[in-house]
A = this chain, B = another copy of it.
Amino acid sequence: MSKTVELAKHLEKLHINNMYKNDFYWTWDKTDEELDAIFTVADALRDLRERNKSTRIFDSGLGISIFRDNSTRTRFSFASACNLLGLTVQDLDEKKSQIAHGETVRETANMVSFMADVIGIRDDMFIGEGHKYQKTFMDAVAEGYQNDILEQRPTLVNLQCDVDHPTQCMADMLHIIHHFGGVENLKGKKIAMTWAYSPSYGKPLSVPQGVIGLMTRFGMDVVLAHPEGYDVMPEVEEIAKKNAEATGGSYKKVTTMEEAFKDADIVYPKSWAPFAAMEERTKLYQAGDEDGIDALEKKLLEQNAQHKDWTCSEDMMKLTKDGKALYMHCLPADITGLSCKEGEVDNSVFDRYIDPLYKEASYKPYIIAAMIMMSKVKDPVAALMAMDAEDDKRKKF
């Protein structure tokens, strides 16, 4: 029995009826079994590809990508996932487009979706805006489908919003699962999601939020640490707490990196902007107050600079379980002495973890492909079994 057939048999036991024709906004919208289904299908698709099996679901069709912020990793992951399933990516480059001043999201959404099977959106820059944009967009295509404008309702993969970064955090989580040899081994493992200093300004909060919102569902002890003023969205902290209660794990906030790193099995040190400042920035942008933005940026850089000791140094790593915690990062990291003078992580630490870091990133295309497949295929078990059985080869010769 191939690995894919085993995984398909596992998938068969899960309650996943809600996933078909549905969107993926936030991991906490999904049940545990639904997340399990994504992990399972991601592993199966990887196995199929490794065995040169064709995983084309689509003979033709479009995956629309909208990156309202720069991206390499997520862009290539989305492109890879679409290609794996037979979809062609059509990117909406807002700079090259005739999107009129004041054109509604509703109109744009319909205009680019006439033959779209899936929509991937990254909109992470402004607190209170990213998710709203995605929601407005998807409401519009749902309405377009209802009114016979669109042949099908495309489904959403959230490629990062202001609240969550589910493709990243699900890839992170699958990496953890495989690293520790299965979900069953995660109970009681300590993971430290900590702020870290970076010379840059205004990184999104969606990674730390996504991590505490997801990792608290596996019985782990999740610790969040950051300097004063760098709080994440309180709603997401509430979710983390509830998750922890439900799964026998824990969620705790501490005030130093040292405390977070102490005996941790996993560390995820990463810079982000203070929530309050991000809210302020959103208002300044909406008001078009360039001077205000510059002043805020300056203030934030100064504020950041007071916390240069929040860095994943060799000494800090020594505090972790046997000095050997699994170091994680969504990449690119600000690496002290390599990409910047003082940053999130010592070069020697980063360098020691390059293989697991790249492996972590390597799950993202499969996670995205699994999200697409679960939303577009009514019977994913049958589909996996058929792909496993077929003679079709990805590479024919």
Residues on A lying within 8 angstroms of B by beta carbon are 46, 49-50, 54-62, 67, 69-73, 75-77, 79-80, 83-86, 88-90, 92-93, 96-104, 106-108, 110-112, 114-115, 117, 144, 147-151, 331-335, 338-340, 354-355, 358-359, 361-362, 364-365, 376-380, 382-383, 386, 392-397
Asked if A72 and B92 sit within 8 Å, CB to CB, the answer is: yes
Is B114 a contact partner of A362 (Cβ separation < 8 A)? yes
Docked Cα-Cα span, A174 to B354, in Å, equals: 44
In the docked arrangement, what's the CA distance between A77 and B90, Å? Answer: 11
Say yes or no: A358 contacts B110, CB within 8 Å: yes
The 6 closest A-B pairs by CB, nearest first: A102-B339, A100-B332, A383-B397, A80-B115, A72-B97, A70-B98
B397 touches A379 (CB 8 A): yes
Tell me the nearest residue of chain B to A102, going by C-beta: B339
Q: How far is the CA of A285 from the CA of B231 in the complex (A)?
A: 42
Cβ of A14 to closest chain B Cβ, rounded Å: 17
Given A76-B114, A112-B76, also A332-B98 (CB < 8 A): yes
> When the two chains form their complex, are residues A56 and B62 in contact, meaning their CB atoms are under 8 A apart?
no
* 15 extra A-B contacts, CB within 8 A, seeds A49-B115, A70-B97, A99-B332: A54-B59, A54-B60, A55-B60, A58-B396, A59-B394, A72-B108, A72-B111, A76-B92, A83-B115, A102-B340, A103-B339, A107-B358, A117-B395, A149-B362, A382-B397
Contact (A355, B147) CB under 8 Å given A59-B56, A383-B397: yes
Q: Can you give 16 A-B contacts (C-beta < 8 A)? A: A50-B151, A59-B393, A62-B83, A72-B98, A76-B112, A77-B114, A80-B90, A102-B338, A110-B358, A110-B362, A144-B358, A147-B358, A149-B362, A377-B397, A382-B397, A386-B397
Cα-based distance from A62 to B339 in the complex (angstroms): 29
Q: Give the residue of B93, B331, B359, B380 whose beta carbon is less than 8 angstroms from that of A111.
A: B331
Interface centre among A54, A110, A111 (most CB of B within 10 A): A111
Q: How far is the CB of A397 from chain B (nearest CB, A)?
A: 4
| A78 → chain B closest CB, angstroms | 10
A335's partner among B90, B102, B392 (CB-CB below 8 A) is B102
In the bound complex, CA of A376 to CA of B274 (Å): 49
Q: Chain B residues near A59 (CB, 8 Å)?
A: 54, 56, 392-396
A19 to chain B, nearest CB (A): 14
Contact yes or no, A62 B46, CB < 8 A: no
